[in-house]
Structure 1
Amino acid sequence: MSETDSGLTIRRGVAADAPELARNMAQWFLAAYAHASDAANTGAFVAANFDAARQAAELADPSIVTLLAESAGVMVGYAQLRLARPAPDCVDKDASAEVGRFYFAPSQHGRGGAAALMQALRAQARERGRYWLWLLVWQEAPQAIRFYEKQGFEKVGTAVFLVGEDRKADWVMCGPV
Structure 2
Amino acid sequence: MEAYNITPASVEDYKSLQLIGKETFSETFASSNTEENMEMYLSKSFSDEKMINELSNKESMFFIAWDKNVPIGYLKVNTGEAQTELQDPFALEIERIYVKASYHGKKIGQLLYDKALEVAHQKDLKSIWLGVWEENPRAIKFYEKNGFLAFDKHVFKMGDDMQTDIMMRKILG
TM-score (norm 1): 0.89
Task: List runs of 5+ in structure 1 lacking aligned partners.
Answer: none
Task: List runs of 5+ in structure 2 lacking aligned partners.
Answer: none
Q: Give the letter aligned to residue 68 of structure 1.
A: I
> 1:81–1:113: structure 2 CA closer, same or farther, 3 Å change rule?
same
Measure the CA separation in 1 of the matches of 2:170 and 2:126: 9
Q: Where does residue 34 of structure 2 map in the other structure?
A: 38
Post-superposition CA distance 1:92-117 (Å, at most 9, x none): x8711211111100011111121111
Q: By how many angstroms is 1:118 displaced? A: 0.7
1:11 to 7, 11, 15: 7
1:97 to 84, 92, 100: 92
Asked if the contact 2:20–2:98 (Cα under 8 Å) also holds between the matched residues in 1, the reply is no
For 1:135-150, what aligned pairs fall within 5 Å after superposition?
135-150=130-145
1:82 to 78, 84, 99: 78
Measure the CA separation in 1 of the matches of 2:84 and 2:108: 28
SS in 2 for 1:114: helix
Deviation above 6 Å: which 4+ runs of structure 1? Answer: none
For 1:105-124, what aligned pairs fall within 5 Å after superposition?
105-124=100-119
Measure the CA separation in 1 of the matches of 2:126 and 2:161: 33
2:21 to 21, 25, 29: 25
Asked if the contact 1:19–1:51 (Cα under 8 Å) also holds between the matched residues in 2, the reply is no
* CA-atom RMSD in angstroms: 1.8
Q: Where does residue 66 of structure 2 map in the other structure?
A: 70
SS in 2 for 1:7: coil
SS in 2 for 1:111: coil
Measure the CA separation in 1 of the matches of 2:57 and 2:112: 20
Q: Where does residue 175 of structure 1 map in the other structure?
A: 170
Q: By how many angstroms is 1:23 displaced? A: 1.2
- Count of residue pairs the alignment pairs up: 170
Identity %: 24
1:61 and 2:48 are equivalent in the alignment: no
Measure the CA separation in 2 of the matches of 1:175 and 1:151: 8
Q: By how many angstroms is 1:129 displaced? A: 2.8
Measure the CA separation in 2 of the matches of 1:18 and 1:69: 14
